[in-house]
Amino acid sequence: MPIDALLFDKDGTLFDFAATWGAFGRSTLLRLTDGDEGKAAQLGRSIGFDFAQNRYEPHSIVIAGTVCEVADSLLPYVSGYARSELVDLLNMESAKAEQVQAVPLDAFLQGLRAAGLKLGVATNDGEAPAEQHLISVGVRAHFDFVAGYDSGHGFKPGPGQLLAFARHVGIDPSCIAMVGDSRHDLEAGRAAGMVTVGVLTGVAGPDELEPVADVVLPDIGHIPAWLSSI
């Protein structure tokens, strides 16, 4: 079947994960510990973040988890925050994070739109930060649909966001490709009956993605050539 629509994960897919979220992790941990680097390093371990190296471990909850899940991992180790307050802080810090594009997105997305494809974003980030990230690099208008973990469709690896996109654009899931950098993304794609495309701009390597991917590409910039080959 032809591919008529593409649904993208955000972090690690549209945006380079390490380059974007390393600085966010460091600044957020320092804020939560009043600038104490020793405490920040200890707190980082609760979410799989190596403070000294400014990088996330492959198992980090930040990679594929929701903001609420990240907050739940941090909450036992911070004082003075209710869960809702911590979620709000993480969403606020996330919305301000400078996004490093995996490829020049405006030209890339324009090309896909010109080819007649419907486009969407399904992320385990909050909807408001996701919208802000897309707006910040001038590409929000290219997308027909944006959903976060709090948009009412559930979150990955569940298929709810993906099926909501299919309904929104009126395209059978079998004619949609789910593009992501984590197993959660691709497992959601499989559960929704979509084609699954893994990319290597996150933390997961090809060995982790290949069992649940129909194809693994270096980055989203290789999608047009892949579409031409199928």
pLDDT of residue 198: 98
Peptide bond into 159 cis (omega under 30): no
pLDDT of residue 56: 86
Distances in whole angstroms, Cα of residue 159 to Cα of each of 29, 117, 156, 162: 32, 21, 6, 5
Environment class of residue 221 by beta-carbon count within 10 Å: exposed (0-12), middle (13-18) or buried (19+)?
middle
If you classify domain 5-16+101-229 with CATH, what class do you get?
A: alpha beta
pLDDT of residue 159: 98
Tell whether the torsion through CA atoms of 112, 137, 130 and 64 is positive or negative.
positive
CA angle 119, 125, 130 (to 5 degrees): 50
Report the alpha-carbon distance of residue 171 to residue 145 in Å, rounded. Answer: 13
127: number of CA atoms within 13 Å, CB side? 13
Give pLDDT tens digits along the chain (230 positions): 699 999 999 999 999 988 888 888 888 899 999 999 999 999 999 998 998 888 888 888 887 788 899 999 999 999 889 999 999 988 888 888 888 999 999 999 999 999 999 999 999 988 998 999 999 999 999 999 999 999 999 999 999 999 999 999 999 999 999 999 999 999 999 999 999 999 999 888 999 999 999 999 999 999 999 999 98
pLDDT of residue 79: 84
pLDDT of residue 127: 93
pLDDT of residue 23: 80
Where are the chain's structural domains?
Answer: 5-16+101-229, 18-96
Q: Would you state the torsion angle of the CA atoms of residues 63, 69, 73, 74, taken in this order, to the nearest 10 degrees?
A: 90
